[in-house]
Amino acid sequence: MNADNLVGRTVAGYHLAKHIGEGGTATVYRAEHPERGLAAVKILRPRLSSDPVAVKRFLREAEYGARVSHPNIVKTYDFGVADGLQYLALEWAQGEPLADFVNRSGKLAPPLAATIVEQLGAALGAAHKAGIIHRDLKPANIMYDPATQTVKLLDFGIARDSELNPEERLTRAGFFVGTLQYVAPETLSGELVSEQADVYSLATITYYLLTQCLPFTGKSPRELFQQLLTQPPLPLNQAERGLRFPPAVEAAVMRGLERDLSKRAKTVDEFARAFCTAATSGPGKKP
């Protein structure tokens, strides 16, 4: 059975109705279940089924997702092996990737950005309380429903248990995983990271929602890598000519982007509260 040709088949009770996407490790289907209704089913590519690291990472996404219950995190229904295929069944999230929404809608006004950041902060806070650091926050890993202004966080594929010993990690020192544009500088060395790495990524997402720009302008991975390690981020009010935000909004965002951990917001809740208060307390300026 080929994971790339399963439309119309049933896997572990899930009827795979439509192919909706794929990544380097898994194929994703829109599925129907007699009891749960719509679901998203991810199936590990068969060629990776003999790769212990790929299998463990796939299972880790399932296990970590199942450990956290929060209305802004996509539910994990079940996972396992069926017909020789590793599968993961998830709640079907309404809407579209946040990246697509921003590309279509343009820069978000601070109050709308605050609505999104508040929900993401709550979701990440729940994950952190469960001992899980996401490590791959980016607009493509967030579903957004414009009709309800609701977000759903997904993809714990490279998340890490904050209690793991160094030897239990799937990533090796000096080996980076994640999305460079949104990653915290301390992650680049491969060292163990704290919840503050997710704070940095959330601040980068916030910066992007407001400006459709990123705080570093490197054109190549090498240049971006170097900037992240050695240069300060571009201040929010310098992201685009003529685009200005209240000082409190800029201060909240830039505190989340501090390279110095002693100066960065300590928790996602602290960051989200500071930004949301600043973004909704004044008239601001719609970009």
pLDDT higher than threshold 80 for residue 77? yes
Residues noted as catalytic? 136
* Architecture of the structural domain at 96-281: Orthogonal Bundle (1.10)
pLDDT of residue 282: 62
Whose CA is closest to 207, among 102, 282, 67? Answer: 102
pLDDT (mean) for 169-183: 55
What integer pLDDT is reported at residue 283 of this predicted model?
55
* 170 confidence band (pLDDT: 50, 70, 90): very low
The average confidence (pLDDT) of the chain is 87
Predicted confidence band of residue 126 (pLDDT cuts 50, 70, 90) = very high
Percent of the chain with pLDDT over 70: 88
Cα-based angle 186, 143, 45 (whole degrees, multiple of 5): 75
Q: Are 74 and 143 in contact (CB under 8 A)?
A: yes
String of DSSP letters for the chain: --TTS-TT-EETTEEEEEEEEE-SSEEEEEEEETTTEEEEEEEE-GGGTT-HHHHHHHHHHHHHHHH---TTBPPEEEEEEETTEEEEEEE---SEEHHHHHHHH-SPPHHHHHHHHHHHHHHHHHHHHTTEE-----GGGEEEETTTTEEEE---TT-EETT--GGG-SSPTT---S-GGG--GGGGGT----THHHHHHHHHHHHHHHHSS-S---SSHHHHHHHHHHSPPPPGGGSSTT----HHHHHHHHHHT-SSTTTS-SSHHHHHHHHHHHHHHS-----
CATH superfamily ID and name for 10-91: Phosphorylase Kinase; domain 1 (3.30.200.20)
Distance of alpha carbon 188 from alpha carbon 228, whole angstroms: 9
Do the two domains 10-91 and 96-281 of this chain adopt the same fold? Answer: no
268-281 and 196-211 helices, crossing angle to 10°: 30
Ranges 95-99, 196-200, 275-279, 283-287: which has the least confidence: 283-287
Q: Considering the entire predicted model, what is its pTM?
A: 0.87
Of residues 2 and 230, more confidently modeled: 230
| Domain ranges within the chain, ordered by starting residue | 10-91, 96-281
Is the pLDDT score of 61 beyond 50? Answer: yes
pLDDT top residue among 286 and 243 = 243
